[in-house]
Amino acid sequence: MKINIGTIDRILRLIVGLVLIVLAATGTIGWWGWLGIIPVATALFRFCPLYAILGIRTCPLKTQR
């Protein structure tokens, strides 16, 4: 897996994912809030399968492996 998520994209994914998870855990929103696990996981691994399919990269070329 090559890194294809940059720093800003990573931070936004973490924030959105954690907010969704917290809202789902507190019962504010429904079960779909648990889908926040997906952006959190992609942020932690710094790899997004959809970006790979579409050929999108938000990270600088120097940090790719």
Give pLDDT tens digits for 30-57: 999 999 999 999 999 999 999 999 998 9
pTM of the model: 0.85
pLDDT of residue 60: 84
CA separation, residue 24 to residues 5, 34, 62 (Å)? 25, 6, 37
Radius of gyration, alpha carbons of the chain? 13
12 or 61, higher pLDDT:
12
**pLDDT higher than 70, residue 63:** no
Note the pLDDT tens digit of each residue in 3-35: 999 999 999 999 999 999 999 999 999 999 999
